[in-house]
Each structure stands twice: as C-alpha cells, then as structure tokens.
Amino acid sequence: MAAKYDLTPRIAPQLDRHLVFPLLEFLQERTLYPDEDMLKAKIELLNHTNMVDYAMDIHKSLYHTEDVPQEMMERRAEVVARLKALEEAAAPLINFLQNSSAVQELRADKQHNLQLLQERYQIGPDQIEALYQYAKFQFECGNYSGAADYLYQYRALCTNSDRSVSALWGKLAAEILMQNWDIALEELNRLKEIIDSKSFSTPLNQVQNRIWLMHWSLFIFFNHDNGRTQIIDLFNQDKYLNAIQTSAPHLLRYLATAFIVNKRRRPQFKDFIKVIQQEQYSCKDPITEFLACIYVNYDFDGAQKKMKECEEVILNDPFLGKRVEEGSFSSVPLRDEFLENARLFISETYCRIHQRVDMGVLAEKLNLNYEEAERWIVNLIRTSKLDAKIDSESGTVIMEPTQPNVYEQLIDHTKALSGRTYKLVSQLLEHAQTQAAR
C-alpha cells in the first residue's frame, strides 16, 4: 500500500535531476521498492549528469563487481577535460573575483562594472559567459558549493534577464542540496517575486513556473523552522492554489498536512475545506480524504480508517517522513504532530454536531482508551470554543446547540464562486491553446 501513495513519479518530472537523488535515497531506506530497481533508477538519473564517480560506485553495487564499463571510463576522461577547459576560460574572471581589493571597485551599476572589467582587466562578455558555463558544469559534477558561489557572482554581472533567472534556479537547487535552508528560502522568495512580476510568453508558461517553484519549495518548507506556516502563505494564494487545482492536485497533500499540524492558520482553513470539497473526486489522497471525511461528509468511521492510512503515507513520504535520531531512539516528529491534531479535528467536529456524546463511542473514534479520551475532551473544552460540559455519572459530553450564521454562509458561498470561475477559465484557456497548437 505504501508504494501506491508514493508521489515521487509525479514530483520528479518537476524537479532538477539532482533534486531527485534525495527522494530516491529516502525511498531506498524505506524499502518501498526492490533495491535493484532503486539502483537502476539512480544510474539512469546519473547518466544525464557529470557525476561519473558516483555512477561508477552505483554500478559496482548493482552488479557486485569492481570493474566498470569502458564507456564509463571514457565519459570520466571527457568530463575531466571539459572541466579543465571551462576553468581556463573562466580563469581571468575567477582570479579577479578572488582579489578582494579589486572586487571593492565594483558598484551596484552593472554597466559601470562591465566597463571597468573590460577596460582595466580585459574581461568581457566571453569570460562572463564562461563563468556561467563553469558554474553549471560544477553543479552537474555535484560540486554544489562551488556552483552556488559562482552563480551568485555571475548574477551580479549578468545583464541577460533570462540567463539571470536560470542562474537563480541553479543557485536555489544548490542551496537545497547543501541543506542551507535559510539561504534557500531567500532564493525561493526572490524567484517567486520574479515569477509573479515577469511577463511570460503565455499564461501557461507562468503557471508552469509556479508549479516548479512549489515542487522545489517542499524541500525547504518541511525542513525550515517556520516552513509549515510559509507553505500555507505560498500555496494558499489564489494564483498558486489555482495552479495546483488545474495542474498539480497531488500538492494538496502537503498543503492539507500543513493546515492540520498548524493551529495558527485556522482562519484560512474553512476556505481550504471548500477546495477539498471541489477536488475530492479528482484528488485521491488519504490526507485530503481524511479532511473530506470530517468536514464534508461527516463520516467519522471513515476518518478513523483514514488516520491509519495517513500515518502510513507520512512515514513513506520523502518530505513528511523525516526521521530524528536521539541516541538509539528514532522518531518521525511530523507523524506524531499529525495524529495529535487529527484526533483533535475528529473530536472537535464530532462534538459540535451531536447534542450528547457518549465517551465510550468518542474513545473508539479517536483510537484511544476511555481515560485518554476523557482527558482529551477536558482539554478540548478548555482550549477551544466548545460550549459543553461532561456528565461523569452517565459518561457523556453534553453540548449546547449553536445556530449557523446565515450571513457567514452567504459570504462563504460567494467566495467559492470566484475560485471555481478562475479554474474554469484556466481550463478553457488551456484547451484553446492545445487546439491552436494542433
């Protein structure tokens, strides 16, 4: 079942090849697929990079040999020669950048810098282009630190906006692979600003850039201290949420998870449930289905079953299943937070729609024993806005009924209309462009 819900086949095409390696490493550790299949997938991926030494190591593991094919040896020689040639071409600019007193002469004005480099150091567009190619090659070889430095320096001199954006994508990938989450978040925000403000050849091209950005952001948001809040800030914006709904509904898993484990973002939660309702037939994922069971269908038995599936999904998801080792003890913190909050969602909603709740029944719905369920409901009444009291003699929770506010319902329905309209227009536009291309 675990492999059934693995999103890697959908996520990998939206990533740089190098970003797929951490996903394969995770899946290999979790033994979701046969080890031989994972090693073959790694070699296939490596064939499109310059990480020839790593490819040789994988080949040895896969075929249990110390020998490697002749073409691998030839490929390695080619890579070394190309790296040397690129290094020589970029050397004048690299030497300049390593001279701190010379670098201090540079200003914020790029044209001034280009003129200075040309007149005083005989460094022109060819050397600047060579720096980009050298940085890109370093990245392909797996030297992410060197690539990040050179791409940063290249962007300070580059006057071609498209090439500058390409270098920023490369730097973002390098920072993610080095797990520099604070710097990666800064680069992500820079890219978002460019994508939202830049004029693209077609609206679909802009949507595609947003989809790439959201997929790459998963590495950051599920590792950065403030990531669970920031993923809601990004994914829940209308333009990004519509991109998810039209082209990448599998990303709803991660937005749903962030809402479930993040108590501070409840004000936007009601609107998100409407998205879940709209997508419940097109997006089959245990985590979104769990929310649909509680808030759309009021199916608490279904929610209880989905909780177990959700736990399995989290443990086997490369972004959600991060393990923390403390001595000999290993835990998955997000799994524990998820289950805690999932029980809260079930008990809170179940109590709101029943006037009298049997504690034994509630304990069963929460997968808890009677005493644990009683503690749960006491905490719930204390911390939430539930107007309820516990009758210890009969073992029940008695609720005070509340009437729904008709004006709030009207506003909610009106808000949902704009989202559906935008989605319909996006689909019509995509269909029209597909027809035109034919």
Encode pLDDT of 55-100 as tens digits: 999 999 999 999 999 999 999 999 999 999 999 999 999 999 888 8
User: Longest Cα pair distance anywhere in the chain, in angstroms?
Assistant: 91
Q: How far apart are the first and last CA of the chain?
A: 40
Q: Indicate the pLDDT class of residue 253, thresholds 50, 70 and 90.
A: very high
pLDDT at 355: 78
CA 176/CA 174 separation, integer angstroms: 5
Tokens representing residue 32 in the block:
């979701």
pLDDT at 336: 93
CA 426/CA 211 separation, integer angstroms: 14
Q: Is there a contact between 174 and 138 (Cβ–Cβ < 8 Å)?
A: no
Strand order across the 356-358 sheet = 356-358, 396-399, 388-391
pLDDT, tens digit (0-9, with 9 covering 90-100), for 176-234: 999 999 999 999 999 999 999 988 888 999 999 999 999 999 999 999 998 999 999 99
Tokens representing residue 168 in the block:
């920023």
pLDDT at 209: 96
Query: pTM of the prediction?
Result: 0.85
